[in-house]
Amino acid sequence: MRIAGPGAEVLRKLGVNAVLMPPPEIFQALQSGAIDAAEWVGPMLDQAFGLQKITKLCYLPALTEPGAGLAIVFNKDARAELTPDLQSICENAAYAAALENHANFDFHNAQAMTALRADGVDFRAFSDDIVAAMRTAWLEVQDELTAASADVARVRESYDAYLASARDYANAMTLPMLAGRI
What pLDDT digit, counting tens, does each position of 146-165 carry?
999 999 999 999 999 999 99
Query: pLDDT, tens digit, for every residue of 94-127?
Result: 999 988 988 898 899 999 999 999 999 999 999 9
Q: Which domains does the chain have, with CATH numbers?
A: 5-126 (3.40.190.170)
Number of alpha carbons in the 13 Å side-chain half-sphere of residue 89? 5
Is residue 67 within 8 Å of 45, Cβ to Cβ?
no
Which DSSP state fits 58? E
